[in-house]
Amino acid sequence: MLYEISVDGKNYRVEIAREKEGRWLCKLDGKEIPLDAVLANSHALSLIIGTNSYEILREPTGTEARLWIQNTPYTVELRDPRSFRGRNRAAKDHDGPKKLTALMPGKVVRLLLSPGDEVEAGEGVLVLEAMKMQNEIKSPKKGSVQKILVAEGEAVKAGDVLAIVE
Amino acid sequence: MLYEISVDGKNYRVEIAREKEGRWLCKLDGKEIPLDAVLANSHALSLIIGTNSYEILREPTGTEARLWIQNTPYTVELRDPRSFRGRNRAAKDHDGPKKLTALMPGKVVRLLLSPGDEVEAGEGVLVLEAMKMQNEIKSPKKGSVQKILVAEGEAVKAGDVLAIVE
Amino acid sequence: MFKKILIANRGEIAVRVIRACREMGIAPVAVYSEADRAALHIRKADEAYAIGPASAAESYLNIGKIIDAARRSGAEAIHPGYGFLSENPAFSAACTEAGIKFIGPSPASMRMMGSKTSARQHMERAGVPFVPGTSRGVASLREAEEVAAGIGYPVMLKAAAGGGGKGMRLVDASTELKGALDAARSEALRAFGDDEVYIEKAIANPRHIEMQILADEYGNTLYLGERECSIQRRHQKVVEECPSPIVDADMRRRMGEVAVRAAQAAAYANAGTIEFLVDAHKNFYFLEMNTRLQVEHPVTELVTGLDLVHWQIRIAAGEKLAIRQDELRLRGHAIECRVYAEDPENNYFPSPGTIASLIEPSGPGIRLDSGIYEGWTVPMEYDPLLAKLVGYGAHREEATARLFRALEEYFVGGIKTNLGLFRRILSDPDFIAAKVDTAFLDRLLKSPAPQKPGHAEIAAVAAGLFAVLNPDSSMNGTNGTRQDADGGRSAQNKGAAAWKRAARLDALQ
Amino acid sequence: MFKKILIANRGEIAVRVIRACREMGIAPVAVYSEADRAALHIRKADEAYAIGPASAAESYLNIGKIIDAARRSGAEAIHPGYGFLSENPAFSAACTEAGIKFIGPSPASMRMMGSKTSARQHMERAGVPFVPGTSRGVASLREAEEVAAGIGYPVMLKAAAGGGGKGMRLVDASTELKGALDAARSEALRAFGDDEVYIEKAIANPRHIEMQILADEYGNTLYLGERECSIQRRHQKVVEECPSPIVDADMRRRMGEVAVRAAQAAAYANAGTIEFLVDAHKNFYFLEMNTRLQVEHPVTELVTGLDLVHWQIRIAAGEKLAIRQDELRLRGHAIECRVYAEDPENNYFPSPGTIASLIEPSGPGIRLDSGIYEGWTVPMEYDPLLAKLVGYGAHREEATARLFRALEEYFVGGIKTNLGLFRRILSDPDFIAAKVDTAFLDRLLKSPAPQKPGHAEIAAVAAGLFAVLNPDSSMNGTNGTRQDADGGRSAQNKGAAAWKRAARLDALQ
């Protein structure tokens, strides 16, 4: 079986074939990796590469999975290698307008920027109150504020688009 | 929905209908039980009957399930109420010959009874060694030993029939 | 002893108190809001009473509903936990009126300690040290100049009616005093309708150290040692330890005796905590008294060997303290991490949602007080505290090592938590050297943990293996969840479907 | 200090030692047989070496393979755990020869304590008390009569070459002596080719109490308090506690000093345990020395506040004991339950299989040392110990209450365990009154726990609700399991299918 897998945005080709009972032949970008893999349960994979032991924990998150190795997360996406749609979409993600959405229901308490303002990556665009805490909603990229779709004092639902940065 | 459910061999008719969001109307042998049920996860049910709170844990075991309430197990079987096969089979189980099977691989170290011997319920028929421990395989019923299918010193696999008591 | 106790709380503290009840042979009664029907504390209780909608004001903060549930259940006493109604004298009084024992201090003690000025007056009379300054407003700039010169710069101006940082100004030198005083006064007037401003010595990067006390209803009061609570985010404690690395036996005795005097001046009964600010010269100043069980009580329990919740219940049932101050021995060191559903890399943004997978640590020297389970959806309506993980050891180094080891074992999948932040804190040289103050966390770098070379490649291979070995499993680790739909679920299922589809397509090759 | 340690063991003790390594900044190396590929200790280790087939003789007991793995990994030391090679002097010697430090005593100490007669000779010289009697065979009936009269009836006849109960006879009165002596001799001759029989005082329902010692490699030896291990099944301990309810400070000092003398007579280094038999008058007699870490070491750790595995490693690395005997303080009480995959109602028949669901207890005063996880298949090849659950409290009553509470929370689904037996033991009046001896468990009634009225009806309703709320979930709680088929799995799936079919048919109505 052949997979195209992106890890934190970097693409790998992974080929996996059953060798013999419990053993797998695995190639990463064409290079063979000597490993012994056992699925402990649906969340945990025990991997022995050479004689190094790794516990890999899987966490579902949206359309990808996060895999944890030694307490460090890796965002992993599995793609159909016969289509380049996925890859193109991923590449596009870094350009173009970005939507700022509400991760949970809350109330807009303050707008920090106005449409047309320049914005740095990580700079706050507006302040949302949820779970009794005020939280700055930050721009994921450098650019300018294209639209603000909410007003101060407005209640928002999870998933609502709050602003667009381009 | 209507179920015929046996608990430790005793039969109940359970009717369950959705009342409103998260609420269920439940009848046991025609009598309404006021309850509030939430499935916590696939193993655990939180049940509030009146104001009493119960945590019910489910354990799969063979063709039945064991449900645990306050650390006490109840063996539960769900049957299709339009067929009486299940019930008849269950009733038959108490009569007729009973097979004594090996629960795990091991070695027969001693035969305690011979074919034709009378046997009490709970009396040992033979001794099996497994996991470095010797274990008496006991008769589930009073009767007589019909057959012994293994010899002293013989290795057996899990599931092998060792003897038949009738 | 009581036969039945109602716990007027939720989350890990409700589970903690239910456990104490079970250990004492007392039937625990839970209450729950609509958002908490699937919560762990209900599963663990003998009885459970619905007390209204998700909003705390209509449920956990509703005195009438809680008293009503207690009456219906026949509970003889109510444990308030922390937060919610635990420091509300009206609730304590309502319990008494309903003939139900409130497990905590009297309404009078609570009221005395609840008001800043009343507490300060009583505490000053009892000889409790305060931050040097005026206890009421300065009348003029000249008076302010004299006071500030007397206590020495830097000083802090504070609104008498104040709170929440409004009407506060830090003044580094006399030249800045006039402007700051004018600004503080006008801000105080606008915020509170009262321009009274007083002056206190400013303490730079203070430590926050608190003393646990335990008092029975016959006037016997013990101090149970201090807790170091200097590691805070947004003025909320996240790491606490016992003992404090800077407190020696003499300082502990002095702080403890002050705490006992303060409690006795308030005729205090049951468990309570005196909070102190400590400056760089180890001078300590009364900050406030918390008239309830603290979140961080486990570190004191581990080091003293006493169960504070058992003792709260015993004291409320009329028992006398069975130990004397000189019999009490502190042994070892304990450190607690407050595990929150939040994203430390995104300004501690709360992260409610479904806990898709959960691996909890255990083993030597580890105590976990948790209120969660795999498959549970953390509601968005309440404080996002999930659990408290505590490491205990013969000394601070061993406690830290065990706690760090447990943090490496701990895994909460599906929502963000601050577990990674704790791993960073515990491996920080300043923490290891016990150089912590209330600004520690802000100093700690916010950069993500460095990824190890080669591990991205392992992640790629592992992703392929998950797809091959387990193609039909849902991405969501639990089969069952609550009936009500939650935001993240459909997205998760879409993700799972995509993985399955890709895996199946490949299997056809 | 070592940088890397190989753990020559499996199960909970391998996990326990790996945790200690992590806490000390040492890289842990695991070994595993084919049956243990999915075991927890591999997931927790940095490196893992396959050492052969499931049979212990070809893997965990194979000295050559383990030394080879240690060499390949570059481990500087080996921790043997308990069982397997831990008391094998040849293994200890092989480690030394390979330039690898064995974490335990020298082969010479091990050999001295491994042989009954050699141990008795050395121990008698060191003034260690033995059960009164002859240390070699009696020559004639007349000598036997004199000896028996001297020590008083009842007496026990034992074959000098004996073991396993063969050639043993209990004699209640002098009239029975001749017949018993003849019978014992002929049985000993048949069994061992040697008819030498000696006489010891018979101790009725003795208590089994042991003393933990810790010795560094410079002759410093400490005793760390006793453990009461009288609750046994088939001569295997199942419940242990520290301290013993019958040992006071004076008896502890006397037993401790004897234990230290015994260890020093054997030039003993590292952790070890002296086992004693104690009669109804609190006389104690040397039974044997275990030259390794005990399964039940956690109760001593909780009460002394010391980490024995850390100290084992430190001692092996050449460190001196940092504490003196008079600095050591016992505080509180700890009780351990050994959780086995077995069926106590069916003569403790082992119950390997897949752990379909798992709820582990935690909270105040609870320590869990576990080697299992949800979804894991307990192999049938090894000792069925799953985990050790320990309750700690300020006193025995509190420790018992906390442990019982934790036992109520603990749930292992899919296999049989002895958790229910522990709940019965801890609520038994004799246990609560600390009236335990080695016959306690046999006296405890074997009847199943009584079911509560009305609960069968609740089970029926709950079964219907499970079917309605979760019709598509597999009966097996985990989605993923190991690749290799196991016996119980297909049966489980059949069961799940039956439930699903019934639920779906009904949905069509």
For residues B9 and D226, which has the higher predicted lDDT (pLDDT)? D226
CA-closest candidate to residue B42, choices B54, B55, B53, B58 = B58
Contacts of A9 in chain C (CB under 8 A): none
Mean pLDDT of chain A: 82
- Which of B36, B40, B52 comes nearest C43 by C-beta? B40
Q: Are B109 and B124 in contact (CB under 8 A)?
A: no
What is the phi/psi pair of residue D268, to 5°? Answer: -80, 135
CA distances from D485 to A22, C299, C391, D41, D310 (A): 11, 46, 40, 22, 39
Mutate which of C355, C458, C504, C508 to test chain A, going by most A C-beta atoms within 10 A?
C458
Q: Please give the Cα distance from B55 to D374 (Å, whole number).
A: 19
Average pLDDT on D34-49 reads: 97
In terms of CATH architecture, what is C132-201?
2-Layer Sandwich (3.30)
- Whose tokens are 């255990």? That residue is C362
Q: Please give the Cα distance from D188 to D166 (Å, whole number).
A: 7
pLDDT digits (tens, 9 = 90+) for C455-501: 999 999 999 999 888 764 433 333 322 233 333 333 333 344 444 44
Model confidence, pTM: 0.84
- Which residues are paired to B118 by β-bridges? B144
pLDDT digits (tens, 9 = 90+) for D215-246: 999 999 999 999 999 888 877 889 999 999 99
Is 50 exceeded by the pLDDT of residue D351?
Answer: yes
pLDDT digits (tens, 9 = 90+) for D138-197: 889 999 999 999 999 999 998 877 665 677 889 999 999 999 999 999 988 888 788 888
Contacts of D331 in chain C (CB under 8 A): 305, 329, 331
Pairing mode, strands D169-171 and D155-159 = antiparallel
Contact yes or no, C with D (3+ CB pairs under 8 Å): yes
CA distances from C464 to A13, A44, C247, D194, D346 (A): 9, 13, 54, 66, 45
Q: Model confidence at A156, in pLDDT bands (50, 70, 90)?
A: confident
Task: Write down the pLDDT at residue A95.
Answer: 59
Contacts of C478 in chain B (CB under 8 A): 41-42
Mean pLDDT of chain C: 88
pLDDT digits (tens, 9 = 90+) for B11-44: 999 999 887 766 788 999 999 998 999 999 888 9
Q: Please give the Cα distance from B103 to D429 (Å, whole number).
A: 35
Q: Could you state, in order of their start, the residue ranges of all structural domains in chain A?
A: 1-93, 95-166
Q: How far is B42 from chain C (nearest CA, A)?
A: 5
pLDDT digits (tens, 9 = 90+) for D105-134: 999 999 988 776 678 788 888 889 988 887
Task: Write down the pLDDT at residue A160.
Answer: 83
Q: Model confidence at C26, in pLDDT bands (50, 70, 90)?
A: very high
Is 90 exceeded by the pLDDT of residue D298?
Answer: yes
Pairing mode, strands B2-7 and C77-79 = unpaired
User: Long-range contacts of range D91-100, CB-CB < 8 Å, 24 or more positions apart?
Assistant: D91/D8, D91/D63, D91/D66, D94/D63, D94/D67, D95/D67, D95/D70, D98/D67, D98/D70, D98/D71, D100/D6, D100/D67, D100/D70, D100/D71, D100/D75, D100/D76
Token digits for D192? 């061992």
What is the phi/psi pair of residue D94, to 5°? Answer: -65, -35
Check CB contact of A16 with chain C, cutoff 8 Å.
Answer: yes
Task: Write down the pLDDT at residue C509.
Answer: 32
CB contact under 8 A, B60 and D383: no
Is 90 exceeded by the pLDDT of residue D253?
Answer: yes
Three-state secondary structure call for residue D59: coil
- Which residues are paired to C393 by β-bridges? C333
CB contact under 8 A, A62 and C475: no
Average pLDDT on C424-452 reads: 80
Q: Model confidence at D362, in pLDDT bands (50, 70, 90)?
A: very high
- Whose tokens are 């997979």? That residue is A3
CB contact under 8 A, A74 and C496: no
**Side chain identity at residue D440, one-letter code:** F
Catalytic residues of D: 292
Contacts of B41 in chain C (CB under 8 A): 373-376, 478-481
Mutate which of B36, B38, B71 to test chain C, going by most C C-beta atoms within 10 A?
B38
Element (H, E) at D109: helix D107-114
- Which of C306, C369, C409 comes nearest D363 by C-beta? C369
pLDDT digits (tens, 9 = 90+) for A55-102: 999 986 555 788 999 999 999 988 755 444 444 444 444 457 888 888
Q: Are C313 and C77 in contact (CB under 8 A)?
A: yes
Q: Are B144 and B117 in contact (CB under 8 A)?
A: yes
Any idea what the Cα angle at residue D364 is, between residues D359 and D370, rounded to 5°? 40
Is 50 exceeded by the pLDDT of residue C1?
Answer: yes
In the structure, how many helices (H) and strands (E) does chain C have?
Answer: 17, 22
Q: Model confidence at B78, in pLDDT bands (50, 70, 90)?
A: confident
Q: Please give the Cα distance from D382 to D369 (Å, whole number).
A: 18
CA distances from A165 to A109, C188, D332 (A): 19, 38, 62
Contacts of B133 in chain D (CB under 8 A): 234, 348-350
Q: Please give the Cα distance from A19 to C465 (Å, whole number).
A: 13
Q: Are C387 and D392 in contact (CB under 8 A)?
A: no
Task: Write down the pLDDT at residue C488.
Answer: 32
Average pLDDT on D83-106 reads: 96
In the structure, how many helices (H) and strands (E) does chain D have?
Answer: 17, 22
For residues C271 and C131, which has the higher predicted lDDT (pLDDT)? C271
Q: Please give the Cα distance from B92 to C229 (Å, whole number).
A: 68
Task: Write down the pLDDT at residue C163.
Answer: 61
In terms of CATH architecture, what is A95-166?
Beta Barrel (2.40)
Average pLDDT on C54-74 reads: 97
Chains with 3+ CB–CB pairs under 8 A to A are C, D
CA-closest candidate to residue C241, choices C228, C230, C252, C225 = C228
Task: Write down the pLDDT at residue C274.
Answer: 96
The residues, any chain, with a CB within 8 Å of residue C327's CB and separated by 6 or more, are: none
CB contact under 8 A, A41 and D375: yes
Q: Please give the Cα distance from D17 to D327 (Å, whole number).
A: 26
Task: Write down the pLDDT at residue D31.
Answer: 98
> What percent of chain D is predicted at pLDDT more than 90?
70
| Chain A residues 96-155 with a CB less than 8 Å from chain D | none
Burial class (CB in 10 A: 0-12, 13-18, 19+), D93: middle
- Across D124-139, b (16+ Cβ under 10 Å) vs e yields eebebeebbbbeebbe
Could you tell me which chain D residue has the CA closest to the CA of A69?
D43
Chains with 3+ CB–CB pairs under 8 A to B are C, D
Lowest mean pLDDT, pick from A123-127, C210-214, C415-419: A123-127
Lowest mean pLDDT, pick from B124-133, C69-78, C169-178, C183-192: B124-133
Contacts of D38 in chain A (CB under 8 A): 38, 40, 46
Q: Please give the Cα distance from C221 to C205 (Å, whole number).
A: 31
pLDDT digits (tens, 9 = 90+) for D397-413: 999 999 999 999 999 99
Q: Model confidence at B128, in pLDDT bands (50, 70, 90)?
A: confident
CB contact under 8 A, C470 and D483: no
CB contact under 8 A, D38 and A22: no
Q: Are A77 and A64 in contact (CB under 8 A)?
A: yes
Could you tell me which chain B residue has the CA closest to the CA of C42?
B53
> What percent of chain C is predicted at pLDDT more than 70?
90
Average pLDDT on C199-224 reads: 94
End-to-end CA gap in chain B:
40
Pairing mode, strands C197-201 and C207-215 = unpaired
> C-alpha dihedral over A160, A134, C343, C239, to 10 degrees?
-160
Token digits for D69? 């793995």
For residues D307 and B64, which has the higher predicted lDDT (pLDDT)? D307
Check CB contact of A52 with chain C, cutoff 8 Å.
Answer: no
Contacts of A48 in chain D (CB under 8 A): 42, 48
CB contact under 8 A, C373 and B40: yes
Instruction: Return the top range by mean pLDDT from B61-75, C245-259, C480-494.
Output: C245-259
Lowest mean pLDDT, pick from B109-118, C68-77, C333-342: B109-118
The residues, any chain, with a CB within 8 Å of residue B163's CB and separated by 6 or more, are: B99, B100, B125, B126, B137, B145, B146, B147, B148, B149, B150
Catalytic residue among C16, C227, C292, C402: C292
Is 80 exceeded by the pLDDT of residue D254?
Answer: yes
- C62 backbone φψ class: left, alpha, beta (φ>0; ψ -120 to 50): beta
Any idea what the Cα angle at residue D129 is, between residues D125 and D133, rounded to 5°? 95
Check CB contact of B40 with chain C, cutoff 8 Å.
Answer: yes
The CATH code that applies to domain D207-446 is 3.30.470.20
Task: Write down the pLDDT at residue D93.
Answer: 97
**Side chain identity at residue A82, one-letter code:** R
**Fold of the A1-93 domain:** Glycoprotein, Type 4 Pilin (3.30.700)
**Structure ipTM over 0.95, yes or no:** no
Mean pLDDT of chain D: 88
> What percent of chain A is predicted at pLDDT more than 70?
85
For residues D410 and C288, which has the higher predicted lDDT (pLDDT)? D410
- Across C211-238, b (16+ Cβ under 10 Å) vs e yields bbbbbbbeebbbbbbbbbbbbbbeeebb
Task: Write down the pLDDT at residue D490.
Answer: 34
Contact yes or no, B with D (3+ CB pairs under 8 Å): yes
Is 60 exceeded by the pLDDT of residue C136?
Answer: yes
CATH class, domain D4-103, is: alpha beta
Q: Model confidence at C390, in pLDDT bands (50, 70, 90)?
A: very high
